[in-house]
Amino acid sequence: MAGAGAASSFDHTLEQINRGHNYSDYVDAVTRAKGFGLKLCTHLIVGLPGEEPEDSLISFDRVINLGVDAIKIHPLHIVKGTQMARQWRNGQVRELTESYTDALMQMILRAPEELLFHRLTGSGERQYLLSPAWAMHKWDVLGMLYKKLEAAVK
């Protein structure tokens, strides 16, 4: 399975985080890869600067509508020594809250049955991760997600 790292479907976000591509570049890459019959896994990041939780859901819907086969979802990690860490310290980047699991739940509930989820969260290394601290506790995040999904499908 080939990887296609979108991160977001919003060009202003991709530019702000110095991603090096725009959304139409991603769409072109997916279209060409699918034309060769490749199976694709896309990465999305929830909590990117300037995005609201709904924006992550929009990005999710957009990449799913392109026919990707799998997805990896990551919470935004603020890592020591980066430009984003400096922006976070200056209040220019908001800390991702545990509402991350709400966004994940919505993605799972709206996902096509055949979509594979390769990752639902990522755990940061304590020595590098500044924020969010809860991301260091992957099993707690997954447990919270499970409880929300269980309540949603009852």
pLDDT for 2 equals: 58
Q: What's residue 3's pLDDT?
A: 62
How high is the pLDDT of residue 1?
58
What average pLDDT score do residues 10-28 get?
83
Is 4 a residue whose pLDDT tops 70? Answer: no
Write down the pLDDT at residue 95: 85
pTM over 0.85: yes
- Lowest pLDDT segment from 22-26, 67-71, 118-122: 22-26
Cβ neighbours of residue 121 under 8 Å, at least 6 residues apart?
73, 74, 75, 100, 104, 135, 138, 141, 142, 145
pLDDT at 51 over 80: yes
Residue 81 CA to residue 89 CA, distance in Å, equals: 11
Domains and CATH numbers, the chain: 2-152 (3.30.750.200)
Q: What is the sign of the dihedral through the CA atoms of 134, 57, 90 and 14?
A: positive
Q: Which of 33-42, 49-58, 116-125 reaches the highest mean pLDDT?
A: 33-42
- Across residues 145-153, what is the average pLDDT? 92
pLDDT band at 18 (very low <50, low <70, confident <90, very high): confident
